[in-house]
């Protein structure tokens, strides 16, 4: 699979088809492979680009002890569509849906369409003063991370 090197990062991606650009952003439990069927379905009408987020596949891992943001992941999307002269359509699943929201915001009018599948922008709870709900989802995240790290 191709790898784009930009600003010291390697971005591992899959590309198929021609036409307006559709960027596919995977969930945190997957990689760009989750989009194989959709890529096949769209490639006759669109240029489809599915990529791996930081630390997935051959995409550069995020540096340890450094906080990553949705904006950092959105930078990958912006790099991948920087040469596109036409509209960009973005599809994101779960964590990828939250990245898609940030990328669309940063793309402005160039983002012509946005499809979100089970997005999880939990940070919005905190921003809208729903602190108890935000703390609950953070506790669930920490639980999953703790036990997921040891394979339980």
Give the separation between CA 71 and CA 25, rounded to whole angstroms. Answer: 14
d(CA 3, CA 8): 12
Whether residue 83 is predicted with pLDDT greater than 90 in this model: the reply is no
Number of neighbouring beta carbons within 10 Å of residue 119: 20
| pLDDT band, residue 146 (cuts 50/70/90) | confident
Name the band, by pLDDT with cuts 50, 70 and 90, for residue 1: low
3-121 topology per CATH: Rossmann fold (3.40.50)
Average pLDDT, the chain: 91
Give, in order, the Cα–Cα distances in Å from 39 to each of 9, 15, 18, 102, 142: 24, 8, 12, 22, 33
What is the full DSSP assignment across 45-85? Answer: TSEEEEEPPTTSTTSPPPPTT----HHHHHHHHHHHTTT--
Copy the structure tokens of residue 35: 């989009």
Place of tokens 């439990």: 29
User: The dihedral of CA 54, 60, 66, 69: what is its sign?
Assistant: negative
- Domains in the chain: boundaries: 3-121, 123-152
- Comparing 44-48, 90-94, 99-103, 138-142, the range with the smallest average pLDDT is 138-142
Does the structure show a pLDDT above 90 at 51?
Answer: yes
């Amino acid at each position: 699979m191709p790898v784009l090197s930009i600003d010291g990062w390697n971005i591992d991606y899959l590309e198929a088809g021609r036409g307006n650009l559709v960027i596919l952003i995977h969930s945190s439990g997957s990689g760009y492979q989750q989009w194989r069927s959709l890529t096949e379905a769209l490639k006759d009408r669109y240029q489809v680009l599915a990529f791996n987020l930081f630390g997935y596949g051959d995409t550069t891992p995020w540096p340890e002890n450094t906080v990553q943001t949705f904006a950092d992941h959105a930078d990958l999307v912006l790099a991948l569509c920087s040469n596109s002269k036409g509209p960009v359509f973005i599809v994101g699943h779960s964590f990828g849906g939250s990245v898609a929201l940030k990328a669309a915001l940063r793309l402005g009018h160039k983002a012509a369409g946005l499809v979100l599948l089970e997005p999880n922008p939990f940070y919005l709870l905190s921003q809208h003063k729903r602190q108890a709900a935000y703390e609950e989802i953070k506790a669930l995240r920490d639980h999953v991370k703790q036990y997921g790290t040891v394979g339980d």
